[in-house]
Amino acid sequence: MNFRLDNILEQWAQAYVPLSHDPDPLKKHRTFYRVGMIDQNSEFVRNFQTCASPAMAYATHIDAEMSKQSPKIISYRHIVYFMVKQATGSLSKTLATDEEGAADARFQTDDMVQDLLAYLFTLRSLVGGKRPSADQMQVVEHIFQGTPQFDPATRNGINGLRLEEAHWGTLPVMLAGWHVCGLTIEQLQSRDLCIVPSRYRLDG
Question: Is 169 part of a structural domain of the chain?
Answer: yes
**Residues paired with 184 in a beta bridge:** 79, 167
Beta pairing class for 73-85 and 64-66? antiparallel
Question: Is 202 part of a structural domain of the chain?
Answer: no
Q: What is the pLDDT of residue 98?
A: 79
Mean pLDDT of 75-79: 94
Question: Is 201 part of a structural domain of the chain?
Answer: no
Output 41 or 3, whichever has higher pLDDT: 3
Q: Give the HSE-up count for residue 155: Cα atoms under 13 Å, Cβ half-sphere.
A: 9
**What's the CA gap between 143 and 12, in Å, rounded?**
7
Residues 6+ apart with CB under 8 A from 196: none
Question: Is 38 part of a structural domain of the chain?
Answer: yes
Please tell me the total count of domains within the chain: 1
Q: How far from 156 is each of 9, 61, 128, 150, 174, CA to CA, in Å?
A: 16, 21, 10, 9, 37
Containing structural domain, residue 104: 5-192
Q: What type of residue is 164? A: E
Per-residue pLDDT tens digits for 93-126? 554 567 888 899 999 999 999 999 999 999 999 9
Mean pLDDT of 140-169: 92
12 touches 32 (CB < 8 A): no
Question: Is 199 part of a structural domain of the chain?
Answer: no
Question: Is 105 part of a structural domain of the chain?
Answer: yes
Mean pLDDT of 192-197: 82
Phi/psi of residue 158, each to 5°?
-65, -45
Long-range contact list for 58-66, CB < 8 A, 24+ apart? 58/5, 58/6, 58/9, 58/10, 58/32, 58/33, 58/34, 59/35, 60/6, 60/34, 60/35, 60/36, 61/36, 61/37
Question: Is 58 part of a structural domain of the chain?
Answer: yes
H or E element, residue 183: strand 178-190
Model confidence at 9, pLDDT cuts 50, 70, 90, reads very high
184 touches 77 (CB < 8 A): yes
Mean pLDDT of 191-199: 83
**What's the CA gap between 189 and 160, in Å, rounded?**
6
Question: Is 198 part of a structural domain of the chain?
Answer: no
